Structure 1
Amino acid sequence: MLETLIDTYGDGAVLAMAGVLVGVIFGAAAQHSRFCLRAATIEVAERGLGPRLSIWIIAFSAGVLAVQGAIAMGVLDVSQSRQLAATGSLSGAIIGGLMFGAGMILARGCASRLLVLSATGNLRALVTGLVLTIVAQSSLRGVLSPAREGLATLWTVPGGAARDLLAHLGLTSAAAATLAAAALAGGVALAVLRHVRSSHVLAGIGVGLAVGLGWLATYAIAQTSFEVIPISSVTFTGPSTDTLMGLVNSTSLPLGFGVGLVPGVLAGAAATALVTREWKIERFGPDTPMERYLAGAALMGFGSMLAGGCAVGAGMSGGAIFALTAWVAVTAMWVGAMATHLLVARPTRRAVPG
């Protein structure tokens, strides 16, 4: 069937269709589960193990379980993915991850969360996401690219086994899948303890499964096609910049997985918000200063390109295949977010009445 689709519509169109499908699943699941790395880091920074942390653990571990389980069963091979095969940057993962973590606190959401919120009528998220995308494009090919390249070359790691965290740990994919299953069980237990709705738990699992489906879909298409097709999964900064630049610079948009992913996420999140009656217009206000959002967007735009992806692209998709730089980046995002939250949300002392 896949071969027939490729022969009929071409590689790009089939990749775009796969992107739409994965995007719809991710968008719907992320909206309903309230999946958000920023919210999870805030709970940990405030010394609490709350519902948002449980959802993040569930989504992350479900993604790892799906991907490593597929590898263990021999139906997926990610060794040629960019995150493993190409030269990586540990300095970029650290510095970019810290910047991204700080930015998502200021902007009240990471790249994926801003995209999901934009589909629910949140104009703050829409404006912030556009600024993030423009800064990311400038960091990739524009005026900020020399600074990004300079920071990225400070500490590099070659592709292959040196960038494979499982190889460093001496673990197999089956062992990684087993550990992920245990983490998933722990996340579900925490969710039950914190009275998280069962539908939110299932949606959190759906977020992780969307990441696994992305890897499986692009791998299957790459194996079927006669062209060289890079395998990938859910990520947002790169596809968002490609989509935006394609729309403003060209009369036609080259089709690919990322081009289908972005509108798919918007459609899935918007449909879920409409069904649950959560769609509403939200604007900047006195309690939501625009300058703070724009600063956060700039930090995330540059940081994501330096770190090799956003909280989902590097943190979940890269983390699910155990790319060393991805795990370093997501750790730095956690550190940067928690430190920034503690700095900007420091409680003010109140005068005690005499």
Structure 2
Amino acid sequence: MTDFLEQLGDDNLLILTGVIVGLLFGVAAQQSRFCLRAATIEFWHAHLGPKVAIWLLVFSTALVLTQLQFSLGTLSPDSIRQLTGTGSLSGAIVGGLMFGAGMILARGCASRLLVLSATGNMRALTTGLIVTIIAQAAYTGILSPLREWITAWWLISGNVRNLAFYLPNGAPFMVSLLLMAFSILITLRNRLSTKVIGYSVLTGCSIALGWLMTSWHASWSYEIVKIQSVTFTGPSADTLMAVITSPTLPLNFGTGLVPGVFLGSMLASLVTKEFQLEAFTADTGMIRYLIGAPLMGFGGMLAGGCAVGAGVTGGAVLSLTSWTALLFMWLGAGMTDRLIMRTQT
């Protein structure tokens, strides 16, 4: 098996890993209706409803399975960029607020827009493209000086980025089990169907699978392999720019992940006969999408990831900057939803 993988090559294996993880995420997220925006709206309306239950199931599953990998030694915190590299709390705070506001205005976070695009939703496709373009501008383009300036306000590095550093040995896994128990309680209270529960758990499993497969690859490869999992802001920007500027796609995890998610969601919607072309209408409007998309693109790049990349993937490894970004995404979403409600009354 090892000989076959070595012949396949690191680059081909990375893109194949991305496609596999992406397919699982795409199918499961589409069928579970996993969406941070919907969950935050329920939460800020003082209702721990089905959308909150789905989000908690996804997050707690990813957290438990990732922390289990740490406990078993198959994943090392020393090899994870979100725990060892320099991070920005100012970026997490400002970016989280911007991303949270943007996903309310655009009616979906970056991952949800990608999943919906594959089901025929042209609003999501258009909005997602704008998010991706602004993210690239914030990464290497005209908006990058502004992003770097905000990022530099409050930098942290070393063990302080790892929340496990502040907890006793074994506590992170126990906390993850408690959160799982709470999510099960909320799920039972909302009487979610077996189908939705199963696909929500599978969505969380895809996050842990990304960590597992890239960590396993790095353990035997002679090349330096980046250990990572599901995130969308950066990979979407990289994939789009590669399509525009290069005759071939770079072979890495991210450029396998994005088309994998799209294909998985499309297949799921076709099989269940949910695929349907949808466009902007007078009822849906367009202006709020055009405001929300840039906020998400810049905010996601500033925060170090989107609602999934920072919120779930980074949260699952107990990255302080990721948990901070997630908290401020919830706050930004709540304040924006309240502001919209006031303007409509």
Asked if TM exceeds 0.5, the reply is yes
The TM-score by the shorter chain falls in which range? over 0.9
> Structure 1, residues 75-131: CA drift from partner, whole Å, max 9, x if none?
111322111111000000000000000000000000000000001000000000000
Unaligned runs of 5+ in 2: none
Letter in 2 for 1:17: L
Letter in 1 for 2:159: A
Counterparts of 1:247 and 1:39, CA distance in 2: 32
Counterparts of 2:78 and 2:284, CA distance in 1: 44
8 A contact 2:74–2:215 mirrored in 1: no
- SS at the partner of 1:154? coil
- SS at the partner of 2:342? coil
Identity of aligned residues (%): 50
Letter in 2 for 1:47: A
Report the equivalent of 2:238.
242
- Describe how 1:89-104 pairs up with structure 2 within 5 A: 89-104=88-103
Residue 48 (structure 1) aligned with residue 47 (structure 2): yes
Matching residue within 160, 165, 174 for 1:167: 165
Letter in 2 for 1:165: L
- Describe how 1:56-135 pairs up with structure 2 within 5 A: 56-135=55-134
- Describe how 1:171-320 pairs up with structure 2 within 5 A: 171-172=168-169, 174-320=170-316
| Greater than 2 Å deviation, 4+ residue runs | 3-6, 345-349
> Shift in Å at residue 347 of structure 1?
7.4
Aligned residue pairs total 345
> Shift in Å at residue 135 of structure 1?
0.2
Letter in 2 for 1:151: I
8 A contact 2:98–2:296 mirrored in 1: yes
Counterparts of 2:344 and 2:318, CA distance in 1: 41
Report the equivalent of 1:147.
146
Unaligned runs of 5+ in 1: 350-354
RMSD over aligned CA atoms reads: 1.1
Report the equivalent of 1:36.
35
> Shift in Å at residue 194 of structure 1?
1.3
- SS at the partner of 2:77? coil
Letter in 2 for 1:171: P
> Which range moves more in the overlay, 95-104 or 245-254?
245-254
8 A contact 1:188–1:201 mirrored in 2: no
Counterparts of 1:124 and 1:348, CA distance in 2: 22
Q: 1:201 to 1:347 in 2, by over 3 A?
A: farther
Counterparts of 1:278 and 1:59, CA distance in 2: 22
Counterparts of 1:101 and 1:244, CA distance in 2: 23
Report the equivalent of 2:8.
9
Counterparts of 1:346 and 1:50, CA distance in 2: 23
Letter in 2 for 1:138: A
8 A contact 2:30–2:115 mirrored in 1: yes
Counterparts of 2:206 and 2:171, CA distance in 1: 22
8 A contact 1:23–1:260 mirrored in 2: yes
Counterparts of 2:112 and 2:85, CA distance in 1: 28
- SS at the partner of 1:345? helix
